[in-house]
């Protein structure tokens, strides 16, 4: 009886990391995780871009625009460093950058812009209504603001963490460094 009880406890201990729905991430965590909203946009590689294309990889979903001077360069630079720090495991991480400025961000512009960070990063653009629907499905805000030289877009700056099964696991607020991303990506890759 006692032996059976001990074996059960041991099995429970072994299984506990698997039972935990989501590990403690540095990012904000959605609990329980739901399927990340699917979308169909134009990829910066010229092909249709659906989130499901990257099933089996961890997706870091970013919203921004190539003329962004403040938030996007820092976020993308951080993601480059995090991906590099992961080494070989970084190949299982895909950055998807969805524009909030379809007027200026066509596929070619996004490809050029992202190649300066990491050629594996992929951009997504499309019709304004389609992009607005994607933003709404993730709760992303984007507002066009007039500037001296033209306009900028004030946009949500968090990065969405989508696991290999396509579930939206977390949201990393702006300001976290590469170390925090590496921490979370390693945890999510181990699931």
Partner 1 sequence: MKLRPLALILTLLLLAALAWGALAPLAPANRDELFEIPKGTWARRMAGDQVEILPERIHLTLGANDVLLLRNLDEVPQVFGPALIMPGQSFRLPFEVASSYSFACTAHASGQLSVIVAPHPARGWETLNWRLRVWIKQLS
Nearer to partner 1, 94 or 157 (CB): 157
Q: How far is CA 133 from CA 72, 136, 142, in A?
A: 21, 5, 12
Nearer to partner 1, 83 or 155 (CB): 155
Quote the tokens at residue 23. Answer: 């590990």
Shortest separation between residue 62's beta carbon and partner 1, angstroms: 14
How far does CA 29 lie from the centroid of its chain?
A: 13
Shortest separation between residue 14's beta carbon and partner 1, angstroms: 25
Nearer to partner 1, 99 or 156 (CB): 156
Shortest separation between residue 152's beta carbon and partner 1, angstroms: 14
Site for partner 1, rule CB under 8 A: 24, 26-32, 34, 137-139, 141, 143, 154-158, 171, 173, 175
Exposed, middle or buried, 1 (CB in 10 Å: 0-12/13-18/19+)?
A: exposed
Q: What angle do CA 35, 50, 48 make, to 5 degrees?
A: 170
Shortest separation between residue 142's beta carbon and partner 1, angstroms: 9
Distance CA 142, CA 155 (A): 4
Nearer to partner 1, 74 or 138 (CB): 138
Nearer to partner 1, 116 or 165 (CB): 165
Shortest separation between residue 153's beta carbon and partner 1, angstroms: 12
Distance CA 188, CA 69 (A): 30
């Amino acid at each position: 009886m006692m032996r059976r009880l001990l074996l059960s406890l041991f099995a429970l201990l072994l299984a506990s990391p698997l039972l935990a729905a989501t590990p403690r991430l540095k990012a904000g965590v959605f609990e329980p995780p739901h399927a990340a909203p699917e979308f169909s946009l134009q990829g910066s590689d010229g092909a249709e871009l659906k989130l499901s294309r990257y099933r089996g990889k961890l997706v870091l979903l970013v919203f921004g625009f190539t003329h962004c001077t403040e938030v996007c360069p820092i976020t993308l630079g951080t993601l480059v460093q995090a991906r590099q720090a992961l080494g070989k495991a970084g190949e299982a991480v895909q950055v998807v950058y969805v524009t909030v400025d379809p007027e200026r961000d066509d596929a070619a512009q996004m490809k050029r812009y992202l190649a300066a960070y990491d050629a594996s990063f992929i951009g997504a653009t499309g019709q304004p209504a389609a992009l607005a629907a994607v933003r709404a499905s993730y709760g992303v805000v984007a507002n066009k603001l007039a500037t001296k030289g033209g306009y900028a877009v004030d946009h949500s700056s968090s990065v969405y963490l989508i696991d290999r099964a396509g579930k939206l696991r977390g949201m990393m607020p702006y300001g976290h460094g590469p170390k925090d991303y590496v921490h979370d990506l390693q945890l999510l890759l181990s699931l």
